[in-house]
Amino acid sequence: MSLRTAPDSFDILLVEDNPGDARLAQEALKEGRMSSRLKVVVDGVEAMTYLRREGAFADAPVPNLVLLDLNLPRKDGRQVLAEMKADPNLRRIPVVVLTTSQAEQDIMRTYDLHANCYITKPVDLDRFISVVRSIEEYWCSVVTLPPR
């Protein structure tokens, strides 16, 4: 099995309950230099259903990257992260925590759960777009990812 630096298609799952932030991320990726496909789910239960390719998501692509908010309805991001990293079929998918929380306990807890990185959402619109684009560029063109 060979590893590829630049996949033919790059699928990102955004787990975000704030419609405004989801829309900004979609716009940032649409106008970026990469050709990523973004799927948005709005809570942790839906995220796990998507990742496990169950129900309506049976034909969903396995994402190359998950952008995960922490404060989600039904199942929070910490629980999603813990479930992903405990599942042998999901644990290699990189997870970028993208959240408003600056709490040290959240940062420590997510790294304890093996998040790949933790980014506090910028409140400035232009900075938010820049951060999302840099996440995409880094994970899509710099990092060597395991095969899906």
Two tokens, residue 23: 């829309």
Query: What is the Cα–Cα distance from 78 to 135, expressed in whole angstroms?
Result: 20
| Per-residue model confidence (pLDDT) at position 51 | 98
Backbone angles phi, psi at 141, to 5 degrees: -120, -15
CATH number for region 10-142: 3.40.50.2300
Give the pLDDT confidence score for residue 34 in this predicted structure.
65
**pLDDT tens, position by position, 30-49:** 875 667 889 999 999 999 99
Report the pLDDT value the prediction gives residue 9, as an integer from 0 to 100. 73
List the chain residues with pLDDT less than 50. Answer: 1-7
Domain spans of the chain, in order of start: 10-142
Q: How confident is the model at residue 4, as a pLDDT?
A: 42
- What are the φ/ψ torsions at residue 118 (nearest 5 degrees)? -130, 120
Task: Report the pLDDT value the prediction gives residue 119, as an integer from 0 to 100.
Answer: 95
Give the pairing of strands 117-120 and 36-41. unpaired
Q: Give the per-residue pLDDT at 79.
A: 97
- Do the beta carbons of residue 96 and residue 70 sit within 8 Å? no
